Amino acid sequence: MTATTTAENAPLIPRDALFGNPTRAGGQISPDGKWISWLAPSNGVLNVWLAPADDLDNAKVMTKATERPIRQYFWAPDSQSLLYIQDKGGDENFLLYGINVETGVETTLTDFENTRVMVVGGSDRIKDKILIGLNNRNPQYHDVYMLDLNTGELTELIENNSYAGFVADDNLDVRLALRPNAEGGMDFFKVVDNAVEEEPFGSTGLEDSLTTNPAGFTTDGKTLYWLDSRGRNTAALTAMDVETGETRVIAENDKADISGSIRDQETGEVEAYSVYYLKNEWVA
């Protein structure tokens, strides 16, 4: 007879191995290439760390979270500050904070009560501003604002009373609005001069709602990329001429969705795409 290992004899996997903090995660390079940042524990809580790109041993913790881990952060386009999103004590009111890389001074950029911020867009061409959404007027919907990262000034662009999200181009012009429809999918609307058109130019049903999304504009704003599963078994990477609506397939795979892309920094054109079947693979 062959002995069978029972559950009682099997070694337990330590809980920390499954649910504990990563050693390092979320590595990013600053837009100017001088710094490398990542998430790592400080006193047992995930915080943002920073080091010169040529001296990773000279790292320092930049944030001071002691209770709730920081999980969302990104670089300001001018590389002068690190931006992160955090709530207070689990209240799920996520605000946006900025930390000056040189001085370490922290600023609350959206100092509102009962508010959740979302990032709408940023640009390598406009380095001192980003687009954000704030639901401090109506908790159901996020109004779109231009945020000056140097002064903290907020300029309202769109008062939103029905849309779930927005897409901006490289000039920080809002170009698309997204709204859930009765079929369980999403309707897509063009936005011109911060006014949303009344009729959608495209839609998805329930079956494509999780696998069809706009994937950004080229720098000149003339081409809109999509990850699009409409009329196919897997999501393809497509390019749509914004003026004519003509669409061409850039890449597709019979076994798995196209899951991401790498874009040329100057033109915004796709240079490579990824497919995740058995493992994530990049194709140029």
The CATH number of residue 36's host domain is 2.120.10.30
171 and 216 assigned to the same domain? no
216 and 201 assigned to the same domain? no
**pLDDT higher than 90, residue 7:** no
Can you tell me the distance from the alpha carbon of 249 to that of 229, in angstroms, rounded to the nearest whole number? 11
Question: Residue 273 in contact with residue 282, Cβ under 8 Å?
Answer: yes
Rg (CA), the chain: 22
Confidence label for 11 from pLDDT (cuts 50, 70 and 90): confident
Q: Which residues contact 51 (CB under 8 A, 6 or more apart)?
A: 35, 36, 37, 57, 58, 59, 60
Q: Confirm whether 2 is domain-assigned.
A: no
70 and 179 assigned to the same domain? yes
202 and 250 assigned to the same domain? no
**pLDDT attached to residue 39:** 98
Confidence label for 9 from pLDDT (cuts 50, 70 and 90): confident
136 and 26 assigned to the same domain? yes
State which amino acid sits at residue 222.
K
- Per-residue DSSP letter, 32: T
- Name the more confident of 256 and 18: 256
Q: Which domain holds residue 256?
A: 211-284
**pLDDT higher than 80, residue 10:** yes
199 and 216 assigned to the same domain? no
Can you tell me the distance from the alpha carbon of 72 to that of 96, in angstroms, rounded to the nearest whole number? 10
Average pLDDT, the chain: 94
Confidence label for 6 from pLDDT (cuts 50, 70 and 90): low
Q: Confirm whether 59 is domain-assigned.
A: yes
- Name the more confident of 7 and 205: 205
Q: 């799920």: which residue's tokens?
A: 92
**pLDDT higher than 90, residue 16:** no
Q: For residues 227-244, b (16+ Cβ closer than 10 Å) or e, as one string?
A: bbbbeeeebbbbbbebee
Confidence label for 17 from pLDDT (cuts 50, 70 and 90): confident
* CA dist list (Å): 282 to 80, 172, 259: 31, 29, 10
- Domain end call among 207, 228, 250: 207
- Per-residue DSSP letter, 237: E
Summarised one tens digit per residue, pLDDT across range 102-134 is: 999 999 999 998 999 999 999 999 999 999 999
234 and 142 assigned to the same domain? no
Q: Provide the domain count of the chain.
A: 2
Question: Residue 221 in contact with residue 191, Cβ under 8 Å?
Answer: no
**pLDDT attached to residue 2:** 53
Stated pTM of the model:
0.88
Can you tell me the distance from the alpha carbon of 248 to that of 5, in angstroms, rounded to the nearest whole number? 56
203 and 215 assigned to the same domain? no
124 and 157 assigned to the same domain? yes
Question: Residue 120 in contact with residue 163, Cβ under 8 Å?
Answer: no
Summarised one tens digit per residue, pLDDT across range 53-107 is: 999 999 999 999 998 999 999 999 999 999 999 998 788 899 999 999 999 999 9
Q: Confirm whether 7 is domain-assigned.
A: no
179 and 275 assigned to the same domain? no
- Name the more confident of 52 and 20: 52
Summarised one tens digit per residue, pLDDT across range 175-213 is: 999 999 999 999 999 999 999 999 999 999 999 999 999
154 and 230 assigned to the same domain? no
CA 150, 70, 24, 118 torsion-angle sign: negative
∠250-252-257 over CA atoms, to 5°?
Answer: 125
96 and 22 assigned to the same domain? yes
- Domain end call among 188, 207, 226: 207
Can you tell me the distance from the alpha carbon of 33 to that of 54, in angstroms, rounded to the nearest whole number? 10
Summarised one tens digit per residue, pLDDT across range 211-244 is: 999 999 999 999 999 999 999 999 999 999 999 9
